[in-house]
Amino acid sequence: MMALALLLAIANQADIVEHIAQLRPVEWQSRRLTLRKPGIVDIVYEMKSGGAGVRLLLIANSDERKFESQREFHLYAATDFGETGRLKVHLAEPGDYSVILDNRLETKKSAAVKFKGTILYDLPPVQVRTLSWERRLVVIASSLTFFFGLCYFAGRRLWRALVDRI
């Protein structure tokens, strides 16, 4: 059973990126992300070299121009500026997203950042089915027959052992 659960988890997981990005001072880069169905996006980053720190943002692909021109945009998730960080968010709507690696806080040093991301897709809903009344009666009758048959044979052996002792 555990093997089946592990197989399902692996089948619903996809690696989206594993990359070392080079960011000049006051620069940002984006990576495209296409979500086929609802799931959890999990991205971890670590600075290998650099200054003040970087941050990750997750926005809709259509909002990338708004981000570039510093207008208001819809932000799904973001990390603080730092040398390490993790962005983990559940996205309910399939679609195109942008993961932005932002080094605009640093004005002097370039940054080398290693980041890795995965998507864990939601499992499809399971349709619950019930047995018909006739099948339920068969299951109940066979279970009770097995139980009482087991009690009869075990009780008979115990009764013989008790009678032999007396």
- Alpha-carbon gap, residue 48 to 39, rounded angstroms: 29
Q: What is the mean pLDDT of residues 127-147?
A: 92
- Alpha-carbon gap, residue 129 to 60, rounded angstroms: 38
pLDDT of residue 105: 83
Which one-letter amino acid corresponds to residue 73?
Answer: F
Q: What is the mean pLDDT of residues 137-141?
A: 95
- Alpha-carbon gap, residue 81 to 102, rounded angstroms: 8
Q: List, for residues 109-119, the tens digit of each pLDDT value.
A: 888 889 898 88
Q: What is the mean pLDDT of residues 118-129?
A: 82
The lowest-confidence range among 133-137, 152-156, 157-161 is 157-161
Q: What is the mean pLDDT of residues 146-155?
A: 94
Which one-letter amino acid corresponds to residue 84?
Answer: T
Q: List, for residues 85-107, the tens digit of each pLDDT value.
A: 999 999 999 999 999 888 888 77
Per-residue pLDDT band for 11 (boundaries 50, 70, 90) equals low
